[in-house]
């Protein structure tokens, strides 16, 4: 490498390297360069990269090295990044450990660190612990900022206490904090979730009257709350559209996420025609719809049985560069099966496999069940051969599932067994049933292993096995051996 290698150059390369382990190799390789020494900048880039991709073991090793080579009092930003990345991967205890070790490593947490760990705790439902951390922060004389209060407001809203959140919002100026749009929108969302639509709407208008206009990201979070399943059914979508019009008048420009959220909410409420209007509006405003928007509308039409409309949207999307994915195919296959056009669904499934998309267990179940039902339409001899052929197709799909790494479930096997019984194919019935039972026994063994891991004693696994034997199921030697070895 060049002798004029600077930390900022290394940091730039690490940032844009997508593979975290390749980035780590480069990070370690530059140590050998004459005169080069890693700085806080390069260490932080490497730690952030590894943490973001969930390579926590490697991340902790780099942290250990960093503590030996960098002034520990400067590492708060690095620790905050670690807490956030652990939180993103649902590793709450690990995030707490990072926070608790900061004092030990001579890095005094500021309100920024407290905000980071409190947000992780709130996001994962640890509301009591969040309050304890906040009280500890105040006991240490650390002054909270607007983000601290917003996190507490979010905690109140998540615990169905929007009025407590509103009181805290109104008290913020007395605490020396200026109220911002994020805090307002959080409380508005809390009122909407508790079905207090009038209060929510009045509070939103109050925010705009005060000249506080949310940025697009903040508004999108509120829109997401309004477009959730439960609120869709309570009519919150009309409020969502009205709020969108209100902030648009204040100069906020909706982005792709804004439209995606609204389109998805409308489709969940079976208002697919309205969703299509917003899809076109999105294009007219110079935004390019992504797969999420197209899939939502296609799936919405399929669920309404309007396959031709879904197909029209798909063709238009493909013309604009959209590539159908697994969700697209699954929606269309399900729609075709509901419409009774099973053979067309089977043809589409083959096309799906040809394009490198793997059907889910749910998709296999839908097609197999449809094929087997078609095999029982008539008892006439001339249709019986067709029925047998169609059930054979179902069995063939069942075999393909294992090749594509999709494990058939009880619904899958029951559909095939039902079809085989109706076509009097006794040999195939017994063969399929035997395979199913073998897989069930494997599942039992795995469950017993899990029970042993979760419980120090073996009573639960022992009781589970006895229960199955009493119901007439005989365990395999492997299953039986697992329990015997633990007694």
| Mean pLDDT of the residues in the chain | 79
pLDDT at 385: 39
429 band by pLDDT with thresholds 50, 70 and 90: very low
- State the Cα–Cα distance between residues 304 and 285, nearest whole angstrom: 28
As a whole number, mean pLDDT of residues 212-239 equals 74
pLDDT at 380: 27
pLDDT at 405: 54
Structure tokens at 170: 């109104």
As a whole number, mean pLDDT of residues 294-311 equals 92
Structure tokens at 262: 């609204």
pLDDT at 144: 94
As a whole number, mean pLDDT of residues 134-163 equals 95
pLDDT at 138: 94
pLDDT at 241: 81
- What's the pLDDT tens digit per position in 350-408? 788 788 877 665 676 666 666 666 653 332 233 233 334 444 555 565 555 555 555 55
- For the ranges 127-136, 167-176, 461-470, which has the lowest average pLDDT? 461-470
- What's the pLDDT tens digit per position in 260-273? 988 988 888 888 99
As a whole number, mean pLDDT of residues 64-70 equals 94
Let me know: does 183 contact 145? Beta carbons within 8 Å. no
The percent of residues in the chain predicted with pLDDT above 90, rounded, is 41
- Specify the residue for token string 């309050």: 131
pLDDT at 428: 52
455 band by pLDDT with thresholds 50, 70 and 90: low
Q: Is the pLDDT of residue 139 over 70?
A: yes
215 band by pLDDT with thresholds 50, 70 and 90: confident
- State the Cα–Cα distance between residues 80 and 119, nearest whole angstrom: 11
pLDDT at 243: 82
419 band by pLDDT with thresholds 50, 70 and 90: low
418 band by pLDDT with thresholds 50, 70 and 90: low
pLDDT at 326: 85
447 band by pLDDT with thresholds 50, 70 and 90: very low
pLDDT at 35: 81
pLDDT: which is higher, 471 or 62:
62
Buried/exposed code over 5-33 (b: 16+ C-beta within 10 A; e: otherwise): eebeebbeebeebeebeebbeebeebeee
As a whole number, mean pLDDT of residues 227-249 equals 70
Q: Is the pLDDT of residue 246 over 60?
A: yes
- For the ranges 43-52, 97-106, 157-166, 224-233, which has the lowest average pLDDT? 224-233
- State the Cα–Cα distance between residues 221 and 255, nearest whole angstrom: 12
**Residues near 401 by beta carbon (within 8 Å), at least 6 away in sequence:** 361, 364, 407, 408, 412
Q: Is the pLDDT of residue 45 over 60?
A: yes
- Specify the residue for token string 């389109």: 263
pLDDT: which is higher, 424 or 94:
94
Is the pTM of the predicted complex or chain greater than 0.85? no
pLDDT: which is higher, 423 or 194:
194
Let me know: does 483 contact 461? Beta carbons within 8 Å. yes
pLDDT at 33: 83
Structure tokens at 192: 């909407």
pLDDT at 272: 92
Q: Is the pLDDT of residue 410 over 80?
A: no
């Amino acid at each position: 490498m060049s002798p004029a290698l600077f930390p900022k150059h290394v940091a730039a390369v690490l940032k844009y390297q997508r593979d975290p382990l390749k980035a780590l190799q480069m990070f370690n390789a530059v140590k050998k360069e004459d005169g080069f020494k890693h700085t806080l900048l390069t260490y932080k880039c490497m730690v952030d990269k590894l943490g973001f991709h969930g390579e926590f073991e490697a991340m902790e090793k780099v942290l250990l090295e960093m503590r030996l080579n960098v002034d520990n009092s400067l590492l708060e930003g690095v620790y905050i990044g670690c807490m956030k990345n652990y939180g993103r991967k649902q590793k709450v205890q690990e995030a707490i450990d990072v926070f608790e070790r900061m004092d030990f490593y001579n890095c005094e947490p500021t309100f920024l660190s407290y905000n980071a760990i409190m947000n992780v705790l709130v996001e994962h439902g640890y509301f009591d612990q969040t309050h304890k951390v906040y009280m500890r922060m105040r006991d240490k004389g650390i002054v909270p900022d607007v983000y601290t209060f917003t996190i507490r407001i979010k905690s109140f809203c998540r615990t169905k206490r929007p009025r407590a959140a509103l009181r805290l919002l109104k008290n913020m100026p007395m605490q020396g904090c200026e109220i911002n749009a994020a805090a307002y929108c959080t409380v508005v969302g809390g009122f909407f979730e508790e079905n207090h639509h009038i209060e929510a709407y009045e509070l939103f208008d109050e925010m705009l009257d005060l000249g506080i206009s949310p940025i697009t990201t903040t508004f999108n979070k509120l829109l997401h709350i309004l477009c959730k399943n439960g609120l869709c059914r309570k009519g919150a979508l009309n409020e969502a559209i009205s709020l969108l019009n209100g902030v648009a008048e204040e100069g906020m420009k909706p982005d792709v996420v804004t439209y995606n959220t609204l389109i998805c909410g409308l489709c969940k409420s079976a208002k697919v025609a309205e969703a299509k209007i917003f899809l076109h509006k999105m294009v007219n405003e110079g935004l390019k719809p992504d797969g999420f928007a197209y899939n939502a509308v296609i799936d919405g039409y399929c669920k309404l049985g309007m396959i031709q409309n879904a197909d029209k949207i798909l063709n238009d999307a493909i013309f604009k560069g959209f590539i159908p994915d697994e969700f697209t195919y699954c929606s269309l296959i399900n729609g075709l099966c509901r419409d009774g056009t099973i053979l067309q669904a089977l043809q589409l499934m083959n096309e799906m496999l040809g394009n490198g998309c793997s059907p889910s267990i749910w998709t296999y179940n839908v097609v197999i069940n449809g094929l087997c039902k078609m095999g029982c339409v008539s008892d006439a001899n001339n249709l019986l051969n067709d029925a047998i052929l169609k059930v054979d197709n179902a069995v063939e799909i069942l075999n393909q599932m294992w090749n594509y790494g999709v494990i058939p479930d009880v619904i899958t096997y029951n559909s095939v067994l039902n079809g085989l019984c109706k076509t009097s194919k006794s040999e195939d019935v017994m063969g399929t049933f035997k395979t199913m039972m073998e897989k069930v026994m494997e599942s039992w063994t795995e469950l017993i292993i899990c029970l042993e891991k979760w419980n120090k004693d073996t009573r639960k696994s022992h009781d589970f096995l006895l229960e199955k034997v009493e119901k007439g199921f005989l365990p395999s030697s492997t299953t039986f051996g697992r329990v015997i070895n633990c007694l």
